[in-house]
């Protein structure tokens, strides 16, 4: 039993990591296109033509290595952690072992050639990126005849695995744009067994719905929490299954919880910009304040939802309005210049960013599905070929996992909002005052005086924790900073039952993340109870829980999860 539980936990952790690697809410600021990859491929081809001596030398070295492999003298093996070649046949069978070694030698030869060319650092990085996409695609594990697991599955099932694989392929061709499905969606239904916490829509405007969740305690804290999600995924990442729902945890703790659900824009809404979203969020916040009978709120915005929350807080500060008392900003980078996303670094240039702006302007929206496909090609082994083998060669269904279901439920960004986000790469407005103007008000984060709670994940490669620490510094040296021992999504979905969890907590007085970590206090368990206690001190007195949702001015309408989530 214990072994089965450990295997289940390990599978859940692995699936969470896969979802984190392709989560659009993390960094929707840049949309890349196939043209960017084609330009990178042309760099590689030109290098081969322009430097034939380097190419020939590398080819001869590869041929020599093939001789060692053929004579059985090579000890070449895959990198530790490369799960593609986990089947024991790759070691026990001489033909398979030779094929693996030849494949590894070929990939090493290509990357070695790139390193020996006279290309500049940026062009080398771009060439490596496209070369590795080609190398990964050519893996013998992706071929039904050379993948020993697929051959064994075919024989064991009497060919049925092949028939199931063909059926899966045709289904993905028709329904998933030809990409292997990453999740079996059939077990999940929004509002039934996912995003199913009881509540109701209590405010709706053109851009958003505000959902009020039904209190779960006889008394509640007077100051409510409003969750502001990213605009490029659906809102319910923090309300998945009951065992990992942050919403339900807050409700059971006696906190009033409201959540924004953004509308999925179409081409007709192409002119919605950050100023439009901030104005809509202000209307929603006013409704929450009226319903809860509170002068101000605690606002929580994770990932790019934290960017929207910060912009709103800065806009309020410029107007001298105090509608937000506390701000919570998990896995959010506000100092854009400090982030270095290795997956995209070689493609993110001023030219590609301007081209991305132009592309979304022409189309009217940045389509979430298109962006998901491009993200997948940045990590093809994990996000494409892994599912290619599982779905088609082995004839299995992709995993039925709630986080992956949410991750696939993408939305689009209006062209002007996308333009505003990309501009932040050039202006870095949360560090440089008065570089961002919203509805006539200039944003200066130095004016924002709020109690802040910022969370990062030590293994988060999407919003690197040292950059998230800079977010804490932007909110001030008294900001509470928490460094979780996990990655991006795992940091957010970190319930107290997670026995593997730990975190470092403290105020952000240290000048940088390294010195914070050296001086911080490490604690066992999830950061959720730590945050709950922080909220208790800043959420006002206990008052009787409301007997009904909404108010006379803002009556409850549609049941949670609302209507916009289905757009």
Using alpha carbons, list the distances in angstroms from residue 321 to 52, 70, 289, 448. 66, 75, 13, 10
| d(C-alpha 37, C-alpha 43), whole Å | 10
| d(C-alpha 338, C-alpha 452), whole Å | 20
| d(C-alpha 223, C-alpha 241), whole Å | 26
SS3 452: strand
Contact 476, 310 (CB under 8 A): no
Contact 247, 213 (CB under 8 A): yes
Give the active site residue among 250, 251, 281, 303: 303
| d(C-alpha 479, C-alpha 350), whole Å | 33
State the residue for tokens 């430097």: 51
Dig out the tokens for 201 from the structure: 């829509």
Helices 160-175 and 148-156: crossing angle in degrees, nearest 10, is: 110
| Cis amide leading into 561 (omega within 30) | yes
| d(C-alpha 547, C-alpha 215), whole Å | 9
Strand 413-414 relative to strand 219-221, pairing: unpaired
The count of other CB atoms within 10 Å of the CB of residue 413 is 28
- CB burial string 51-86: b at 16+ within 10 A, e below: beebbeebeeebeebbeebeeeebeeeeeeeeebbe
| d(C-alpha 125, C-alpha 336), whole Å | 21
Q: Is 303 a catalytic residue?
A: yes
| d(C-alpha 127, C-alpha 342), whole Å | 14
Query: Which residues have CB under 8 Å from 117's CB, separation 6+?
Result: 47, 51, 54, 124, 127
Q: Name the CA dihedral angle for 96, 98, 102, 104, rounded to a multiple of 10 degrees.
A: 70
Provide the annotated active-site residues: 303
């Amino acid at each position: 039993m214990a072994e089965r539980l450990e295997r289940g936990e390990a599978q859940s952790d692995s699936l969470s990591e896969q979802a984190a690697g392709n989560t659009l809410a993390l960094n929707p600021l840049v949309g890349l296109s196939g043209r960017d990859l084609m330009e990178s491929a042309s760099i590689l081809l030109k290098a081969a033509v322009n430097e034939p001596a380097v190419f020939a030398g590398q080819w001869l070295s590869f041929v020599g290595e093939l001789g060692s492999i053929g004579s059985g003298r090579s000890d070449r093996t895959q990198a530790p952690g490369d799960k593609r070649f986990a089947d024991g046949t790759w070691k026990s069978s001489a033909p398979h072992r030779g094929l693996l070694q030849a494949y590894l030698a070929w990939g090493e030869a290509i990357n070695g050639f790139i390193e020996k060319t006279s290309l500049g650092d940026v062009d080398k990085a771009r060439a490596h990126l496209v070369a590795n996409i080609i190398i990964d695609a050519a893996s013998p594990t992706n071929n039904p005849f050379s993948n020993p697991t697929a051959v064994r599955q075919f024989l064991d099932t009497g060919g049925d695995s092949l028939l199931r694989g063909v059926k899966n392929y045709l289904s993905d061709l028709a329904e998933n744009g030809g990409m292997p499905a990453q999740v079996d969606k059939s077990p999940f239904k929004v509002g039934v067994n996912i995003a199913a916490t009881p509540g109701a829509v209590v405010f709706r405007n053109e851009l958003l719905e505000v959902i009020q969740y039904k209190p779960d305690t006889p008394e509640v804290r007077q100051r409510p929490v409003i969750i502001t999600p990213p605009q490029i995924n659906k809102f319910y990442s923090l309300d998945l299954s009951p065992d990992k729902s942050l919403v339900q945890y807050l409700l059971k703790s006696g906190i009033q919880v409201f959540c924004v659900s953004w509308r999925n824009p179409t081409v007709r809404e192409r002119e919605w910009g950050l100023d439009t979203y901030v104005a809509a969020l202000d209307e929603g916040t006013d409704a929450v304040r009226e319903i809860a009978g509170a002068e101000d709120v605690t606002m929580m915005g994770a990932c790019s939802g934290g960017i929207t929350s910060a912009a709103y807080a800065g806009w309020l500060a410029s107007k001298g309005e105090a509608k937000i008392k506390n701000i919570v900003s998990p896995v959010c980078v506000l100092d854009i210049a400090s982030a270095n996303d290795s997956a995209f670094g070689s493609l993110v240039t001023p030219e590609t960013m301007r081209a991305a702006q132009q592309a979304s302007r022409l189309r009217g929206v940045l389509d979430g599905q298109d962006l998901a496909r491009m993200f997948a090609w940045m990590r093809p082994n994990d996000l494409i070929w892994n599912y290619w083998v599982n779905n088609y060669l082995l004839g299995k269904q992709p995993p039925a996992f709630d986080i992956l279901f949410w991750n696939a439920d993408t939305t689009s960004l209006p062209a002007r909002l996308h333009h505003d986000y990309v501009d932040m790469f050039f202006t870095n407005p949360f560090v440089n005052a008065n570089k961002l103007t919203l509805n006539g008000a200039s944003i200066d984060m130095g004016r924002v005086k709020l109690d802040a709670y910022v969370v990062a994940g030590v293994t988060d490669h999407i919003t690197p924790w040292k950059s998230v620490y800079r977010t804490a510094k932007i909110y001030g040296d008294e900001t509470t900073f928490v460094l979780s021992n996990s990655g991006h999504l795992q940091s957010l979905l970190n319930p107290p039952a997670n026995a593997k969890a730990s975190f470092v907590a403290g105020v952000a007085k240290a000048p940088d993340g390294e010195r914070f970590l050296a001086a911080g206090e490490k604690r066992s368990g999830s950061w959720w109870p730590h945050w709950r206690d922080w909220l208790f001190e800043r959420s006002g007195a206990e008052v009787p829980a409301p007997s009904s949702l909404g108010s006379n001015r803002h009556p409850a309408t549609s049941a949670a999860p609302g209507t916009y989530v289905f757009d």
